Amino acid sequence: MSLWEEDEMKILRSTWAKAIALIMGILVGLIAVVLVWALEVLAGVDDWDAFLEANDTQAFVVVQDGTVVYEKYFNDTQRDSIVISFSVAKSFASALIGFAIDEGYIHSVDDPITDYLPELAERDPRFDDITIRHLLLVASGLEYTADRFPLFNGDDPLTTYYPDQRKIALENTNIVDPPGGTFLYNKYHPQLLGMILERTTGVSVTEYLQAKIWDPLLDVFTA
């Protein structure tokens, strides 16, 4: 192939690439319009954006086949606004346990949690029967009562607002059922998993997340 023909091919490929990008942009725009219309119909509203704004939504993102087809922010929230992750952190915690196992910090998900948190067994030997797997499956047998008398004494407020989350997870957890038998929502699990990660890796969960997941994926905002 001559140099002239190579140049022609480059121009042709560039033109096709631009045309495809333009078509994809149009298609994404059309999908977004149809999506908003469908959401308005399903929600029984006339204005989807106004509906989200009025219902205290901060962000609403729809991804289809790897393409963002709808992304908007509301109520003084922007794309780079910092918000509390809440239960999203649980998925990251489980992923970090996998990294820690892969790097040899943790032997297995079937390790007793007391291998890493021995003070639990000192308080109740039955903690030896609880494994990392039980925490990941939310089936540890640990008591979790969201609300109890008096006010703010329930496990929900304690695992959210208590100033020393490590202390409350180590000293306020009580076994009520054999592990592995019953799924029970329990916010002590990610606290315990986080302490296992801290003790085995030697860094904070935030630092480990930044190194193993956040930086490789985005490297735009800090974790």
Q: Return the sign of the alpha-carbon dihedral for residues 132, 134, 138, 143.
A: negative
Using CB atoms within 10 Å of the CB of residue 153, give its burial: 0 to 12 exposed, 13 to 18 middle, 19+ buried: exposed
pLDDT tens digits, one per residue of 127-163: 999 999 999 999 999 999 999 887 778 999 999 889 9
Give this prediction's pTM.
0.71
pLDDT band at 75 (very low <50, low <70, confident <90, very high): very high
- pLDDT at position 17 is 63
Which amino acid belongs to residue 172?
Answer: N
% pLDDT > 70, the chain: 79
Q: How many whole angstroms separate alpha carbon 13 and alpha carbon 7?
A: 10
